[in-house]
Amino acid sequence: MFDSRGRAMRVYTHGPAPKPNTPRLIQVIEYDPLSGNVARRSAPAAEDTLDSQLAFDEYEFDALGREIRHTTPWNATTTTSYDGFFIEMTDPLLHNTITELDALGRPVTITEAANGKTKYVYGPFDTLRSVTDPGGAVTKWTRDAFARVRQLEEPDRGTTTFVNDGFGDVLASTDALGRVIAFGVDALGRVQTRTDTHTGKSLTTTWTWDTAPNGIGRLHMLESPDGIKTYAYSGSEGSSKG
């Protein structure tokens, strides 16, 4: 069921394992008249449940359409306030999280009462350059002129380097231990081979596409060092066979 603006007001679905004559599930949605955002959304329930018996998540918004309060069906409330570039959220346990935004609306610091401050630095193309966690550990990304990641430095895993093709697909990566992963892709960017190499030993996994009956655009066979898995398709449905 939809309102005059084409928004769903009542959504009917089936459960994960419906049986014959199993009632459908219903979800009721109401909208804030000013912002148009969802103001109330019920938890899924049997479709014969009275509206008065439904449990709702409820949302309130400020004049700019920003969420300022969320109340769960069990009356746990999260509030959010806005002050320039700062957003403060208070959870049901009264823990505060303060997010500082830059001029583009991106978070530059997130301060949590329990965990401390996390810092974010951005580069061109609106991409992350570094993240510093509350303990001072730094994760860094080095990118090329097309914003593709060339190097990733992680405090717990060391430095990983990447090689990309002209479409941005990763063709190879080398981690801090010298382990190399090489990918072969087809013209559609789908992975066809993956070869893991370390200390001179290589293991290859192969994906075969499009060759199954009714399988154009779908995976037919996955062959790995652990075995082979094939896929068969009937119409629009797919099934796998070990």
Model pLDDT, residue 98: 98
- State the chain's mean pLDDT as an integer: 93
Burial letters 132-147, b for 16+ CB under 10 A, else e: beeeeeebbbebeeee
Within a domain: residue 38?
yes
The residue type of 182 is A
pLDDT tens string 75-121: 999 999 999 999 999 999 999 999 999 999 999 999 998 899 999 99
pLDDT of 239 strictly over 70: no
The answer to whether residue 16 is domain-embedded is yes
Residue 240 confidence (pLDDT): 52
Mean pLDDT (whole number) for 12-30 = 84
Residue 23 has a pLDDT of: 81
Q: Residue 1 — very low, low, confident or very high, per pLDDT cuts 50/70/90? A: confident
More confident residue, 176 or 18: 176
Q: Is the residue at 9 inside a domain? A: yes
* pLDDT surpassing 90 at residue 22: no
Domain count, the chain: 1
Domain that holds residue 57: 1-75
In a domain, 59, yes or no: yes
Decide if 155 is inside a domain: no
State the burial class of residue 75 (Cβ atoms within 10 Å of its Cβ: 0-12, 13-18, 19+): exposed
Per residue in 111-161, pLDDT tens?
998 899 999 999 988 999 999 999 999 999 999 999 999 999 999 999 999
Query: Would you say residue 207 lies in a domain?
Result: no
Cβ-based neighbours of 32, under 8 Å, separated by 6 or more: 38, 39, 59, 61, 65
Residue 61 has pLDDT above 80, yes or no: yes
With cut-offs at 50, 70 and 90, classify the pLDDT of residue 21.
confident
Mean pLDDT of 192-208: 96
Judge contact between 210 and 217, C-beta under 8 A.
Answer: yes
Question: In this model, does residue 13 exceed pLDDT 60?
Answer: yes
Does 60 reside within a domain?
Answer: yes
| Residue 202 in tokens | 């290589």
Has residue 194 been placed in a domain? no
